[in-house]
């Protein structure tokens, strides 16, 4: 038997290349081409009165300057609303270059192309734009007030309003024995991948074809969007995602203004053009997420069972809605976590502000929803004097209740039905891992020593692997190499390892013989993209199905060659053999040769496939009617709906009684993403997710002033945690296979980040239990905790 | 960004008023000021070189003096744009007597700083701007005390403190480093000068580079 690799913690095969500087990122491509730079709005809200480029014309090396007026046809028109939704009644997107009005600091107004980036920026500096300033709408409260408008034709700044309800939640709450109201807030943060966006375009005038490299999560859709914008036949456009230095959601948005403009300029100028985003551009002109105000009203009985839950969300969608309203839809549906809410009503208002657009960032609305639900659970436990874990457990959906239909519509437009999961078992594991039941003694002991330590818990369910589909291509070359391709892209997830593991196992070849290419439309044209923890679920299953096709074909051809029944054959280490008959073998590479009848030979292997090489049935065509040459196969995986992973995190924190410094002493994760393809990679995903979650809980916020200026648009001012702020993360896994897909897997990409704010809020509150503070807003800094303490003390004094 | 502060100058209110509204004084005391041109009564076009750290460049803009109640208070509005970004601000300045031969100058600036300078380094602007304000008032105090002479600016006719005519140009004496010379290192100077601009010269008696806000 070939050693199975699925389930093994195999080291990432891409790392030696990436860690030794052999990666090929966007900025490594096309260094000889022209460079683009952009004049961007310094104002949050303004009308463009005049653009004067006169001074820039003198810059030596200037090639072209483009404003909105220079863009023909569809190139200059507004960018698409990628995910339309009937509730998105007032979707608005920007033009690639601003037409008359700018709606956030950083919006592109002029594109300059020069012989290098320095000169392009020099020219940008000399372009004078005259603005008529308009009052900016900054912050959710200002947007909600609706006195000032971001877009004149969007009353109340409301892009979308959606209510989903099962049962009569308000009536259920009104008649419930106990009722609580919570007002909650989550601040803005952003994906901030280490590599920003970037585009390189090359037009071949002779071939009339366009090749675009872009640092994207969705190359096939960029291709389709560019073909539409530039009015080119799809087969004249190819888009390639090279090595991508992180995406975390922001690079799923497309086409960016720069993708359209750089590609168009390359055609106009007949030369290669490249734009590489700098860090400040990324902060002010890519996308952010997270900012929400929430109101939760919950009714429950004296044992803590939920009877009714009524949630209202005010979601800051920034100046534009290129990605629709996916984020608030996810917040209001995934908020439910592993619980049965009783009657449930969720309402959201998605609001425009004069800030950069809001699109999914790892977690994509889930951290906010989890925060709302878990804060509610903690509040109920506090109200009833019950253990926080007990209240949660009493509201769990039981494993015997799967599949569980919430009666709502999820982000993929499909019913919100949980396919599998064992929440009580997950809770038991995490309680054991962190020592939940023994903690009270530890807390008391610490308190006696003048220390404040607390424990927190957070549970989540994550819909992963959303459709509509992904595909995979598998081909055995005549040298035995197995080539695998997906249209789905990679931003560091380890696809070259896990997809190879799946194919190696399905086909019966060595892992080292499998080579994986992702995100290159020349290799695979049909795909959706890498987001929503879907790559392993979607493309993992697709390459498995494709490999199964190839295996079947290999066994058929080998059966003919070995004069054996294909059912008696197996493939071990790349060799087809008759089970139990030593010596009756044929290597897969030879089967590949036989699969493609040849007239011409060019090496020893191909000689074996030529027409005089071997006797053949003179009455049969060399390639049968229902067959194709080549030992290759393509297949697709399309699920009926999402599969739902889950997990529970627990943490122990310590807060300094004087400085209010917050330290994480322990952090435990129990995670269930079904069958594990590679535990090491899943663990890495969890660790990275928790690190981003810690950033969101304790450090990261994007600070806009009243004028709509982003005050911390640099890594000097935007605090991200270093390794020194990230605790050792202790993990354990449950494997409840998904019944929805052949491999039984669920996604793991976003899991780590989802509950961290909820868990740390819970733990900090517990550490501060003697102070009686309530945390309703994240992230929380030491000074904010200090102020919460002061407020609690004052209230105590007042009463 | 809101910045408030005060300084004590060793001269009477009338003398301080005169100095703070005299372009010939200001052009040589505002850090980085290259050129002041009167475009109308109490309105000037101005060119300043400024930067925070590595974000440097030349700003061009307009400055307007209004709500003047000599010798007690005035408001200065400035806005401008340059490669490092944009600035617009209103600065309320009040002069009050502080004993016989001294005047307290209190300023309250509300500035909007945009563009590159707005997103990078704004965190430290307010603090540095206050420090720069101190530098500026010390420079004005030197002029008032006669420790530093104010020559008629290169291309001006005698600048009177009232009724300045459009078209009169004031330039700083070369090298335009009256205060910068006291500082060490390009970086420090850049920071201070940039802060002054960010404050829209609130700090500097209100002469930031600026373009008139419409």
Spell out the residues 6+ positions from residue B174 whose beta carbon is closer than 8 angstroms to its own.
none
If asked whether residues A749 and A792 sit together in one domain, one would say: yes
Query: Which residues of chain B from 77 to 116 reach within 8 Å of chain A, CB to CB?
Result: 81, 83, 85-86, 112-116
**Which of A236, A251, A285 delimits the end of a domain?**
A285
If asked whether residues A723 and A788 sit together in one domain, one would say: yes
With bands split at pLDDT 50, 70 and 90, how would you rate the model's confidence at A770?
confident
How many domains does chain A contain in total?
3
* CATH number of the domain bearing residue A252: 3.90.1170.50
Relative orientation angle of helices A219-230 and A257-269, to the nearest 10 degrees = 60
Distance from CA of B119 to the nearest CA of A (A): 5
Distance from CA of B74 to the nearest CA of A (A): 24
Query: Which residues of chain B from 124 to 153 reach within 8 Å of chain A, CB to CB?
Result: none
Structure tokens belonging to residue A490: 């990679």
Say what the pLDDT of residue A771 is.
Answer: 86
If asked whether residues A632 and A677 sit together in one domain, one would say: no
Q: Identify whether A355 is part of a domain.
A: no
Say what the pLDDT of residue B199 is.
Answer: 43
Q: Identify whether A109 is part of a domain.
A: yes
CA distance B178 to B188: 15
Nearest to B118 among A49, A128, A709 (CB): A709
If asked whether residues A668 and A769 sit together in one domain, one would say: yes
Percent of chain A having pLDDT more than 90? 92
With bands split at pLDDT 50, 70 and 90, how would you rate the model's confidence at B180?
very low
CA A82 to the chain's CA centroid: 16
Judging by DSSP bridges, how do beta strands A292-300 and A62-66 pair with one another?
unpaired
With bands split at pLDDT 50, 70 and 90, how would you rate the model's confidence at B21?
confident
With bands split at pLDDT 50, 70 and 90, how would you rate the model's confidence at A72?
very high
Q: Which of A171-175, A777-781, B106-110 has the lowest mean pLDDT?
A: B106-110
What are the tens digits of pLDDT across the range A230-275?
Answer: 999 999 999 999 999 999 999 999 999 999 999 999 999 999 999 9
If asked whether residues A703 and A605 sit together in one domain, one would say: no
Which residue from B minimizes the CA distance to A129?
A: B81
Say what the pLDDT of residue B152 is.
Answer: 45
Flag whether pLDDT at B30 surpasses 80: no
Nearest to A42 among B1, B115, B121 (CB): B115
Structural domain spans, chain B: 2-198
Structure tokens belonging to residue A727: 């605790």
If asked whether residues A472 and A598 sit together in one domain, one would say: yes
**Stretch A708-715: mean pLDDT:** 92
If asked whether residues A237 and A260 sit together in one domain, one would say: yes
A488 cis-preceded (ω within 30 degrees of 0): no
If asked whether residues A508 and A603 sit together in one domain, one would say: yes
If asked whether residues A562 and A588 sit together in one domain, one would say: yes
**Which of A256, A285, A314 delimits the end of a domain?**
A285
- Candidates A711, A713, A718, partner chain B, best to mutate (most B CBs within 10 A): A711
What are the tens digits of pLDDT across the range A468-492?
Answer: 999 999 999 999 999 999 999 999 9
Q: Do B118 and A712 touch (CB under 8 A)?
A: no
Flag whether pLDDT at A50 surpasses 70: yes
* CATH number of the domain bearing residue A765: 3.30.365.10
Which residue from A minimizes the CA distance to B111?
A: A707
Flag whether pLDDT at B186 surpasses 50: no
Which residue from B minimizes the CA distance to A106?
A: B115
Q: Identify whether A419 is part of a domain.
A: yes
With bands split at pLDDT 50, 70 and 90, how would you rate the model's confidence at A361?
very high
Which residues of chain A are at the B interface, by a Cβ-Cβ cutoff of 8 Å? 42-43, 49, 105, 125, 128, 131-133, 280, 283-284, 705, 707, 709-714, 716-717
CA distance B90 to B93: 10
Q: Identify whether A37 is part of a domain.
A: yes
Q: Do B112 and A713 touch (CB under 8 A)?
A: no
Distance from CA of A98 to the nearest CA of B (A): 16
If asked whether residues A594 and A612 sit together in one domain, one would say: yes
Say what the pLDDT of residue A690 is.
Answer: 97
More confident residue, A411 or B83: A411
What are the tens digits of pLDDT across the range A380-438?
Answer: 999 999 999 999 999 999 999 999 999 999 989 999 999 999 999 999 999 999 999 99
Question: What DSSP string runs through A604-622?
Answer: HHHHTTBTTTS---TTS-S
Which residue from A minimizes the CA distance to B211?
A: A130
CA distance A74 to A78: 8
Distance from CA of B23 to the nearest CA of A (A): 26
With bands split at pLDDT 50, 70 and 90, how would you rate the model's confidence at B181?
very low
Question: In chain B, what residues touch A49 (CB-CB under 8 Å)?
Answer: 214
What are the tens digits of pLDDT across the range A333-352?
Answer: 999 999 999 999 999 999 99
**Stretch A560-587: mean pLDDT:** 94
Q: Do B86 and A43 touch (CB under 8 A)?
A: yes
Q: Identify whether A331 is part of a domain.
A: no
Say what the pLDDT of residue B167 is.
Answer: 65
Q: Which residue range is the domain that position A576 belongs to?
A: 468-637
Spell out the residues 6+ positions from residue A551 whose beta carbon is closer than 8 angstroms to its own.
A506, A507, A508, A571
Flag whether pLDDT at B209 surpasses 50: no
Neighbours of A271 (CB within 10 A): 17
Structure tokens belonging to residue A387: 């253990």
Q: Identify whether A164 is part of a domain.
A: no
Domain B2-198 of CATH type 3.40.1190.20: no
If asked whether residues A227 and A202 sit together in one domain, one would say: yes
With bands split at pLDDT 50, 70 and 90, how would you rate the model's confidence at B211?
very low
Q: Identify whether A491 is part of a domain.
A: yes
Nearest to A707 among B57, B112, B116 (CB): B112
**Which of A593, A619, A637 delimits the end of a domain?**
A637
If asked whether residues A518 and A646 sit together in one domain, one would say: no
């Amino acid at each position: 038997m070939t050693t199975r690799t699925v389930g093994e913690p195999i080291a990432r095969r891409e790392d030696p290349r990436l860690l030794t500087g052999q990666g090929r990122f966007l900025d490594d491509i096309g260094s000889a081409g022209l460079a683009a730079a952009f004049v961007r709005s310094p104002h949050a809200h303004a009308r463009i009165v005049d653009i004067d480029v006169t001074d820039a014309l003198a810059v030596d090396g200037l090639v072209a300057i483009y404003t909105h007026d220079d863009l023909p046809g569809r190139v200059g028109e507004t960018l698409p609303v990628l995910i339309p939704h009937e509730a998105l009644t007032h979707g608005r997107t920007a033009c690639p270059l601003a037409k008359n009005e700018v709606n956030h600091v950083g919006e592109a107004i002029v594109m300059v192309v020069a012989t290098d980036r320095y000169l392009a920026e020099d020219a940008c500096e000399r372009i004078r734009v005259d603005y008529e300033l308009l009052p900016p709408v900054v912050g959710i409260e200002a947007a909600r007030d609706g006195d000032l408008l971001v877009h004149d034709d969007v009353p109340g700044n409301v892009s979308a309003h959606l209510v989903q309800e099962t049962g009569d939640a308000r009536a259920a709450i009104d008649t419930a024995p106990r009722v609580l109201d919570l007002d909650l807030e989550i601040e803005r943060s952003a994906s901030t991948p280490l590599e920003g966006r970037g585009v390189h375009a090359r037009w071949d005038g002779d071939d009339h074809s366009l090749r675009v490299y872009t640092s994207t999560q969705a190359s096939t859709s960029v291709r389709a969007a560019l073909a539409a914008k530039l009015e080119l036949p799809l087969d004249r456009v190819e888009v390639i995602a090279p090595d991508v230095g992180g995406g975390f959601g922001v690079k799923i948005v497309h086409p960016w203004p720069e993708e359209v403009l750089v590609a168009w300029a390359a055609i106009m100028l007949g030369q290669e053009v490249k734009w590489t985003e700098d860090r400040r551009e990324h902060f002010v002109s890519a996308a952010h997420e997270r900012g929400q105000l929430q109101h939760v009203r919950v009714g429950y009985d004296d044992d803590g069972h939920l009877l009714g839950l009524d949630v209202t969300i005010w979601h800051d969608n920034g100046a534009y809605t290129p990605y629709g309203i996916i984020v608030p839809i996810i917040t209001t549906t995934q908020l439910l976590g592993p619980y049965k809410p009783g009657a449930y009503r969720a309402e959201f208002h998605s609001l425009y502000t004069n800030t950069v657009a809001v699109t999914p960032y790892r977690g994509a609305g889930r951290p906010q929803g989890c925060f709302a639900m878990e804060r509610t659970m903690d509040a109920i436990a506090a109200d009833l004097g019950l253990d926080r874990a007990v209240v949660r457990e009493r509201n769990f959906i039981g494993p015997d209740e799967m599949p569980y239909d919430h009666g709502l519509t999820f982000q993929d437009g499909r019913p919100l039905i949980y396919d599998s999961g064992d929440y009580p078992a997950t809770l038991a594991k995490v309680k054991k891992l962190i020592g939940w039941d023994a903690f009270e003694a530890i807390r008391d002991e610490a308190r006696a020593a003048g220390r404040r330590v607390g424990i927190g818990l957070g549970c989540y369910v994550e819909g992963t692997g959303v459709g509509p589909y992904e595909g995979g291509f598998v081909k055995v070359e005549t040298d035995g190499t197995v080539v695998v391709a997906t249209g789905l892209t990679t931003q560091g997830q380890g696809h070259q390892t896990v997809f190879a593991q799946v194919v190696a196992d399905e086909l019966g070849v060595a892992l080292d013989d499998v080579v994986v290419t992702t995100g290159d439309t020349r290799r695979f044209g049909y795909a959706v993209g890498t987001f929503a923890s879907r790559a392993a679920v979607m493309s993992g299953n697709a390459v498995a199905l494709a490999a199964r096709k190839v295996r079947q074909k290999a066994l058929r051809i080998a059966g003919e060659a070995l004069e054996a029944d294909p059912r008696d054959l197996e493939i071990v280490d790349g060799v087809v053999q008759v089970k139990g008959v030593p010596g009756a073998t044929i290597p897969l590479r030879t089967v590949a040769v036989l699969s493609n009848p040849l007239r011409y030979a060019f090496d020893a292997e191909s000689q074996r496939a030529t027409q005089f090489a071997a006797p053949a049935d003179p009455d049969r065509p060399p390639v049968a009617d229902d067959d194709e040459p080549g030992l290759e196969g393509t297949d697709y995986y399309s699920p009926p709906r999402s599969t739902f992973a889950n997990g529970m995190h627990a943490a122990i924190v310590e807060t300094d009684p004087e400085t209010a410094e917050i330290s994480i002493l322990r952090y435990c994760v129990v995670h269930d993403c079904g069958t594990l393809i590679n535990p090491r990679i899943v663990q890495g995903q969890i660790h990275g997710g928790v690190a981003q979650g810690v950033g969101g809980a304790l450090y990261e916020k994007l600070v806009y002033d009243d004028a709509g200026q982003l005050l911390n648009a640099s890594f000097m001012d935007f605090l991200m945690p270093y390794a020194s702020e990230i605790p050792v993360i202790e993990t354990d896994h449950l494997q409840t296979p998904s019944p929805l897909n052949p491999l039984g897997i669920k996604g793991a990409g976003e899991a780590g980040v989802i509950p961290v704010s909820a868990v740390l809020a819970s733990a900090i509150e517990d550490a501060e239990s003697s102070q009686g503070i309530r945390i309703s807003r994240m992230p929380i800094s030491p000074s904010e905790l200090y102020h919460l303490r002061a407020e609690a003390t004052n209230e105590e004094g007042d009463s | 960004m809101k910045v408030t502060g005060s300084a004590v100058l060793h001269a009477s209110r009338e003398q301080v008023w005169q100095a703070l509204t005299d372009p010939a004084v200001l052009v040589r005391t505002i850090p980085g000021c290259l050129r002041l041109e009167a475009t109308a009564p109490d309105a000037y076009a101005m060119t300043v070189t400024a930067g925070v750290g590595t974000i440097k460049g030349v700003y061009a803009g307009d400055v307007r003096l209004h709500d003047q109640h000599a010798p007690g208070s005035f408001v200065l509005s400035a806005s401008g744009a340059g490669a490092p970004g944009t600035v617009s601000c209103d600065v309320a300045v009040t002069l009050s007597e502080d004993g016989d031969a001294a005047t307290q100058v209190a300023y309250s600036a509300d500035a909007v700083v945009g563009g590159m300078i707005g997103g990078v380094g704004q965190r430290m602007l307010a603090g540095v701007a206050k420090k720069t304000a101190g530098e500026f008032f010390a420079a004005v105090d030197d002029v008032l005390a006669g420790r530093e002479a104010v020559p008629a600016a290169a291309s001006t006719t005698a600048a009177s403190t009232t009724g300045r005519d459009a078209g009169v140009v004031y330039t700083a004496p070369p090298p335009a480093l009256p205060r910068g010379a006291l500082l060490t290192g390009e970086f420090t100077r850049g920071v201070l000068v940039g802060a002054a601009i960010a404050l829209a010269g609130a700090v500097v008696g209100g002469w930031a580079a600026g373009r008139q806000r419409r």
